[in-house]
């Protein structure tokens, strides 16, 4: 797997030229024109296009021979990561810089020295900063050119523009076993502008972050049947594919390097809303309002205004778990919203509009089996930087091992680590940003846990006064929590079965069944 950070400007430009033609024949005139734009011989254009069509991702155009192509970046992965961190995280926090170019270079050099890296020149840092400013200005210009009226976006093809936004749901959910209130889950929604179809949703009890964006993108691109089967929902939700443009707000999770590099790899353009102009996100916000309005009649609903919240006590009326709420949302979107008349579509339905658009110009799809799907998700996973120690890789207070770590540990090699927040039993590790190795728990007997469980166990241990946190303590806490839940479930079930009132009530329809009616 080649990391998108290794792409040169020419390879990105080649992918943008080849992708619109798809498998249509390329004439010699087109090849000669492309050759002029790329600085190549026209016969090389045909050779590179065949290579691209065999695997239509930008990194397939990266030369396998040694040396650097024209336009390639000469810095190592670690130094590039430091520059990106300074430009994306340190710079926005500064109130006012007297000499921006010099101050940014000084900060980059300071962090490089602290990490034992060779600092880049001021010219290199300034070039990266100018590229970032140019990309932001181009994004604003793209918003303006795409708008026929202030705040409007126009798309004529399926997945031409996909808009993504988050909200905290207007409903309280409960835990699975004790049915105690957990709070209001965060909902992320992605909508196709042309058809108004919801192409992905994602629920979490944690605030949206880089991992949220990765999982939402995977649901946009990959078929949803595996996810629907996991939920136990029999519904048709065929909308999927690789979007041409993703329209986002300026939240921090939408500016991560994993998102930007993954989008370069698959030819996805990022378009950001102008700052302090919320009307540019109108399409997805209207869908979110529609979904929140539908929650009003459900147990545990909080209401979506101050007046509407008066007299409600969602903690007492809440009955749905996070998974049951997700099931409800899937049915609401796939079976109700997609098949309802939409005023913005001149009373056509989103599902019918999608079918019509797909017949005219089908969106690009990600082809391949489970491994290819995993490769796609890895490109967007959150990033961490670590050093390989003698006992392997440590992250989240857990230890991972791969045979190649034996050679890396001698020099305490710095690596890039990508992880899946719902499955911490494995991480993906790379030295050069090109090839990734899948590292598993050093102790293979340990169970699969999520990042949410790890953080919950960490909070529990710290509340009990533990100052030296270790992998053993974390898994001991998680196992004890799971035993408590399992024991409580058995005892609750036995007590209810023995109670006459429960036997009488058990003949009634389940609460969740009433909700889905």
pLDDT digits 0-9 by tens, 362-376: 888 877 777 777 777
Q: 277-281, 436-440, 513-517 — which is least confidently predicted?
A: 513-517
The CA distance from 321 to 334, in Å, is: 20
- How high is the pLDDT of residue 276? 52
pLDDT at 17 over 60: yes
pLDDT in tens, 300-314: 888 776 666 666 788
pLDDT above 90: percentage of residues in the chain: 21
pLDDT of residue 333: 93
Q: Taking Cα atoms as reference points, which of 421, 372, 416 lies closest to residue 393? A: 416
Question: 141 falls in which pLDDT band (50, 70, 90)?
Answer: low
Q: Return the axis-axis angle of helices 257-265 and 370-380, rounded to nearest 10°.
A: 140
pLDDT in the model for residue 240:
94
Helices (H), 190-279: 210-221, 225-231, 257-265
The pLDDT of residue 352 is 92
DSSP secondary structure code for residue 415 in this structure: E
Sign of CA dihedral 215, 217, 220, 226: negative
Whether 184 shows a pLDDT value over 50: the answer reads yes
| Residue 187 β-bridge partners | 167, 203
Instruction: Kindly tell me if the per-residue pLDDT of 354 is higher than 90.
Output: yes
Give every CB contact of residue 484 below 8 A, 6+ residues apart in sequence.
none
Q: What is the mean pLDDT of residues 227-239?
A: 91
**Residue corresponding to tokens 């989240």:** 396
pLDDT surpasses 90 at 257? no
pLDDT for res 342: 86
Task: Read off the tokens for 345.
Answer: 């579509």
pLDDT at 214 over 90: no
User: With pLDDT > 70 as the criterion, what percentage of the chain qualifies?
Assistant: 80
Q: In b/e form, how buried is each residue of 174-190, taking b as 16+ CB within 10 angstroms? A: beeeeeebbebbbbbbb
pTM above 0.85, yes or no: no
Angle in degrees, CA 142, 147, 151, rounded to 5 = 105
242 and 263 in contact (C-beta within 8 Å)?
Answer: no
> Is 184 within 8 Å of 168 (Cβ atoms)?
yes
pLDDT digits (tens, 9 = 90+) for 417-463: 988 887 899 999 988 777 889 999 998 888 888 887 788 788 878 88
Judged by average pLDDT, the poorest of 200-209, 371-380, 504-513 is 504-513
d(CA 419, CA 396): 11
Nearest to 350 by CA among 339, 358, 335: 339
Helix ranges restricted to H, 427-510: 451-463, 471-498, 500-505
Cα–Cα distance for residue pair 204/212, rounded to 1 Å: 8
Least confident range of 164-178, 205-219, 372-386, 441-455 = 372-386
Whole-number mean pLDDT of the chain? Answer: 79
pLDDT for residue 149: 43
**What confidence tens digit (pLDDT) does each residue in 56-86 have?**
777 777 776 444 444 445 567 678 878 888 8
Asked whether residue 297 carries a pLDDT value surpassing 90, the answer given is: no
Look at residue 469 and tell me whether its pLDDT is greater than 80. no
Among 192-201, 207-216, 269-278, 337-346, top mean pLDDT goes to 192-201
Whether pLDDT at 501 is above 50:
no
Question: How confident is the model over 143-163, as pLDDT tens digits?
Answer: 444 444 444 577 889 999 999
Kindly give, in sequence order, each residue whose CB lies less than 8 Å from that of residue 399, ignoring residues fewer than 6 positions away. 391, 392, 393, 441, 442, 443, 471
Q: How confident is the model at residue 499 (pLDDT cuts 50, 70, 90)?
A: low
**pLDDT value at 315 more than 60:** yes
Cα distance between residue 379 and residue 377, in whole Å: 5
């Amino acid at each position: 797997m080649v990391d998108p950070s290794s792409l040169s400007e020419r390879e990105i430009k080649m992918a943008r030229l080849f992708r619109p033609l798809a498998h249509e024949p390329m004439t010699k005139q087109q090849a000669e024109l492309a050759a002029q734009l790329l600085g190549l011989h026209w016969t090389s254009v045909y050779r590179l296009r065949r290579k691209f069509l065999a695997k239509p991702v930008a990194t397939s155009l990266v030369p396998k021979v040694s040396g650097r192509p024209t336009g390639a970046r000469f810095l190592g992965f670690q130094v590039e990561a430091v520059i990106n961190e300074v430009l994306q995280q340190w710079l926005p926090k500064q109130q006012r810089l007297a000499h921006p170019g010099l101050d940014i270079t000084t900060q980059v050099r300071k962090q490089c020295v602290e990490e034992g890296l060779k600092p880049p020149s001021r010219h290199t840092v300034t070039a990266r900063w100018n590229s970032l400013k140019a990309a932001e200005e181009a994004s604003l210009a793209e918003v303006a050119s795409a708008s026929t009226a202030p705040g409007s976006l126009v798309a004529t093809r399926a997945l031409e523009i996909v808009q993504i936004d988050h909200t905290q749901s207007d409903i309280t959910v409960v835990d699975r076993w004790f049915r105690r209130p957990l709070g209001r889950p965060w909902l992320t929604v992605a909508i196709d502008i042309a058809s108004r179809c919801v192409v992905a949703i994602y629920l979490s009890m944690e605030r949206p972050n880089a991992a949220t964006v990765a999982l939402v993108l995977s649901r946009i691109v990959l078929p949803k049947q595996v996810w629907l089967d996991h939920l136990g929902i029999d519904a048709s939700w065929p909308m999927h594919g690789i979007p041409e443009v993703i329209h986002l707000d300026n939240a921090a999770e939408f500016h991560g390097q994993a998102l930007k590099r993954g989008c370069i790899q698959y030819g996805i353009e990022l378009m950001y809303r102008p700052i302090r102009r919320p009307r540019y996100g109108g399409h997805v916000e209207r869908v979110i309002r529609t979904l929140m309005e539908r929650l009003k009649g459900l147990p545990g609903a909080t209401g979506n205004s101050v007046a509407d919240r008066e007299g409600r006590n969602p903690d007492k009326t809440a009955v749905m778990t996070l998974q049951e709420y997700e099931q409800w949302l899937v049915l609401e979107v796939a079976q109700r919203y997609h098949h309802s008349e939409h005023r913005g579509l001149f009373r056509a339905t989103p599902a019918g509009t999608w079918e019509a658009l797909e017949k005219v110009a089908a969106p690009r799809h990600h082809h391949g089996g489970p491994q290819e799907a995993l490769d796609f998700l890895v490109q967007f996973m959150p990033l961490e930087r670590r050093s390989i120690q003698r006992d392997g890789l440590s992250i989240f207070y857990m230890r991972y091992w791969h045979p190649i770590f034996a050679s890396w540990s001698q020099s305490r090699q710095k690596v890039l680590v990508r992880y899946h927040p719902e499955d911490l039993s494995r991480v993906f590790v790379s030295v050069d940003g090109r090839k990734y190795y899948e590292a598993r728990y050093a102790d293979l007997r340990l169970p699969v846990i999520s990042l949410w469980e790890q953080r919950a166990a960490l909070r529990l241990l710290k509340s009990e006064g533990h100052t030296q946190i270790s992998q053993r303590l974390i898994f001991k806490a998680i196992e004890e929590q799971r035993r408590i839940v399992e024991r409580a479930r058995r005892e609750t079930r036995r007590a209810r079965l023995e109670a006459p009132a429960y036997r009488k009530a058990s003949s009634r329809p389940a609460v969740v069944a009433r909700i889905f009616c």
